[in-house]
Amino acid sequence: MRLTAKELNRLTIFTLAELARRRWARGRKLNAPEATAVICDEILEMAWDGLPLSEVISRAQAVLSRADVMAGVPEIIGDIEIDALFPSGTTLVVVENPLGPLSDERGHEAPGSIVYGREPVSINAGRAAAEIDVVNLSEAPIEVTSHHHFFEVNRRLSFDRRAALGTRLDIPAGTTVRWEPGERRRVGLIPLAGAREVWGFGGLIDGPIDSADATEILNEAIHRGYANEEPPSAE
């Protein structure tokens, strides 16, 4: 029997949900994967039966309660999003807080919870920062992640690439900056730290930054079609 990836995924959810129901019937409290599987399994079956989306969401919020799961599970799960097959087609079902409202008092104790400090945190403190104007010349949005070597970002982003050599965006790790088509935006850049070596990306350096020939690298980038915006003349 040949099954598609979706069918195999459905069987995985069903199998875990059935295991969770057996444990639940014995009085065991469910962990996060078990609780998620039970709720998702019910959502998929209700959608298959043709219930309206609003009713599926309403019923999904009543499948389990905080009392049925281990401490901290509601905070771990948060919202549930799953593609469900209705008679009319596949629809994304979003169930907010399916185990009931989150507890502000217990949230900080939940495994995997985010604990915020009381004082503001300065990112990249003491790192020399510079600002640069960047424009998106493409017809599609472009996003750049925090630690991408900015000199080697998308060819259709135009800016002073020489000034961006050996730098990255001055933003928190894991975040991004997005340019819509034609948008010009001013961003902050900071020098890459650590060993100051760049490998991969566009393959323009693949080695130490500080000993590289900036003019040679820039010329190669322009030759490969990377947009470059020369700074205005001092004259």
Domains of the chain, residue spans: 5-101, 130-223
Chain-wide mean pLDDT for the chain? 90
Lowest mean pLDDT among 112-116, 177-181, 209-213: 112-116
3 state SS of 36: helix
State residue 67's pLDDT score: 92
Higher pLDDT, 6 or 14: 14
State residue 41's pLDDT score: 97
State residue 122's pLDDT score: 83
State residue 160's pLDDT score: 96
State residue 76's pLDDT score: 85
- The two tokens of residue 222 are 């322009």
Q: Domain 130-223 belongs to what topology?
A: Urease, subunit B (2.10.150)
CA distances from 7 to 12, 141, 230 (A): 9, 34, 54
State residue 123's pLDDT score: 83
**What does the alpha-carbon distance between residue 51 and residue 19 come to, in Å, rounded to a whole number?**
25
How is domain 5-101 classified at the architecture level of CATH? 2-Layer Sandwich (3.30)
Phi, psi of 155 (to 5 degrees): -60, -25
State residue 233's pLDDT score: 63
State residue 108's pLDDT score: 53
Higher pLDDT, 232 or 48: 48
pLDDT at residue 107 above 50?
no
pLDDT at residue 234 above 80?
no
Band of pLDDT at residue 103, cut at 50, 70 and 90: low
- DSSP classification of residue 30: B
State residue 104's pLDDT score: 55
Band of pLDDT at residue 114, cut at 50, 70 and 90: low
Quick check: pTM over 0.95? no
**What does the alpha-carbon distance between residue 33 and residue 13 come to, in Å, rounded to a whole number?**
10
Q: What is the CA radius of gyration of the chain?
A: 25
How confident is the model over 146-165, as a mean pLDDT? 95
pLDDT at residue 116 above 80?
no
**How open is the CA angle 53-55-60, to the nearest 5 degrees?**
95
Which among 76, 48, 74 is positioned nearest to 61, based on CA atoms? 74
